[in-house]
Amino acid sequence: MAQDWSRYWRSADQPLEAMRAHFTRHRYHRHSHETYSFGVTEEGAQAFTCRGASHTSATGMVLAFNPDDPHDGHAADELGFTYRIVHIGPELVTGVLADATGGRGALPLFPRPVVEDQVLARDLLGLHRALIGPATALRREEALTAAVASIVRRAAVRGPRPAEAGERETRRVAERARARLREAPLADVTAGDLAAAAGCSRFAVYRAFRSVYGMAPSDYQRQLRLRHARTLIGQGTPLSEAAVRAGFADQSHLTRWFVRSYGITPGEYRNAAR
C-alpha cells in the first residue's frame, strides 16, 4: 500500500494555491475554502459528500467547488487516489473574467461538483504544472487566464435560481448567524447569541445553518479560525503563536484540525510560499 504524500505551493502575494497529493488512509474532515477550488483526479478514485449528495471523482474527472462549499473526502478503495487541485480567490476569477470581457466580471456558480470534460482537465493540469514548476510569471498568468476562462465557459452558470419565500427566510436566518460568527470568530459565541442575532430559536438557527452552509455553526466557526491561522502563518507568525491567536488550545490542536481540513501540516503550509 502506497504511503500518503502531498506537495503544496502558494503564491506569496496572490490568493492562489496548489496541491498535488496521493491519499490512501487520509480522510478529509468536512470543511470549505474561501476560494474557488478546481481539481483533477489523476489516478484512482476519491469519494466525497457535497451539497447533500455523495459523489465520486475517478481518473480524468474534474472537481469544482464554489467558495464556502462544504465537502469531505477519502479514497474510494484501498488503492487510494492521486489528484491535483488549485485554489483561486474570487477576486482573481472576477479579474480574469473582467479582463476577458472588457467589463465587470460576475462571480460564476458551478452547479456540479464533478465534471467529466477532458479539455477542461487538460487546461487545469496545465495551470497546476505552471504553478508548481519553474514557469515564468507570464506563463503562470497565461495559464491562469486559460484555465479560468475554460472552466467558466464549460462548467459554470451565471447565478442561482430565484429562491422561494421559505428558502429566502431560511437563508436570511443562516446569513445573520454567519455574520455574527464572522464579526468575532475568536469569541466564545453561544447558541443563544446566534439565535438573538437571527431573531429566532436556537434550533431554527442550527437547522437553517446546516441547510444553507452544509455544516453546523460550530464547524463553521472552526473554519474561520483555521483561515485566520493560515493568514497568520502566511505573515510569518510562529506556529505556536498563530495557534493561540487563532483560537486553538495549542499548536498540536491547530495541527490536528489543519491536517484534517487541508491534508498538510501548518509547517508544510508555511514552507510552501514562493
Given a cut of 80, whether residue 81 has pLDDT beyond it is yes
Q: Give the number of residues written for the chain.
A: 274
Q: Which fold has domain 5-155?
A: Jelly Rolls (2.60.120)
Given a cut of 70, whether residue 103 has pLDDT beyond it is no
The burial class, CB within 10 Å (0-12 / 13-18 / 19+), for 161 is: exposed
Given a cut of 80, whether residue 164 has pLDDT beyond it is no
Query: What number is the average pLDDT over the span 249-268?
Result: 95
Q: How confident is the model at residue 159 (pLDDT cuts 50, 70, 90)?
A: low
Q: How confident is the model at residue 26 (pLDDT cuts 50, 70, 90)?
A: very high
Given a cut of 70, whether residue 84 has pLDDT beyond it is yes
- Measured CA to CA, the distance from residue 144 to residue 122 in angstroms comes to 13
Q: Which fold has domain 220-270?
A: Arc Repressor Mutant, subunit A (1.10.10)
- Measured CA to CA, the distance from residue 180 to residue 151 in angstroms comes to 33
Is residue 77 classed as helix, strand or coil in its secondary structure?
coil
All structural domains of the chain with their residue ranges: 5-155, 165-214, 220-270
- Measured CA to CA, the distance from residue 60 to residue 90 in angstroms comes to 25
Query: What number is the average pLDDT over the span 154-158?
Result: 87
Segment 210-248, tens digit of pLDDT: 999 999 999 999 999 999 999 999 999 999 999 999 999
Q: What pLDDT is recorded for position 163?
A: 55
- Measured CA to CA, the distance from residue 203 to residue 45 in angstroms comes to 37
Do 4 and 23 form a contact (C-beta atoms < 8 A)? yes
